[in-house]
């Protein structure tokens, strides 16, 4: 009976180890919350910068495409002029081929 009673411990308040561990866990939780808040703020600013960059790139691409289209219109108009000139020359050649050459006087 007396041996069994000696192994029973009375509930005691928290010791130094328990308090130190609780304090360490609280500090870790605080650091985790602080890091999360900093990352959230940083990612928000980074997202805004990325969006601005994307918009600027889209504007530059639109300008470049507009310049290419303008160049294409200019090239097409030049090609149309060349085509019209070739068509006119072809018609002249066709008319000239239908006309017989004049006879030379004094030729055998």
pTM over 0.85: no
Counting every residue written for the chain, the total comes to 108
The 10s digit of each residue's pLDDT in 20-41 is 999 999 999 999 999 999 999 9
DSSP the chain: -HHHHHHPPPP----HHHHHHHHHHHHHHHHHHHHHHHHHHHHHHHHHHHHHHHHHHHHHHHHHHHHHHHHHHHHHHHHHHHHHHHHHHHHHHHHHHHSPPPPPTT--
2 pLDDT more than 70: no
Residue ranges covered by each domain of the chain:
19-97
């Amino acid at each position: 009976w007396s041996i069994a009673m000696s192994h029973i411990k009375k509930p005691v308040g928290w010791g130094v180890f328990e308090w130190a561990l609780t304090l360490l866990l609280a500090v870790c939780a605080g650091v985790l919350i602080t890091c999360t808040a900093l990352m959230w703020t940083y990612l928000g600013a980074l997202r805004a910068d990325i969006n601005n960059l994307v918009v600027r790139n889209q504007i530059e691409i639109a300008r470049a495409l507009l310049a290419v289209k303008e160049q294409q219109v200019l090239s097409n108009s030049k090609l149309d002029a060349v085509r019209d000139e070739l068509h006119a020359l072809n018609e002249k050649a066709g008319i000239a081929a239908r006309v017989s050459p004049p006879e030379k006087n004094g030729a055998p």
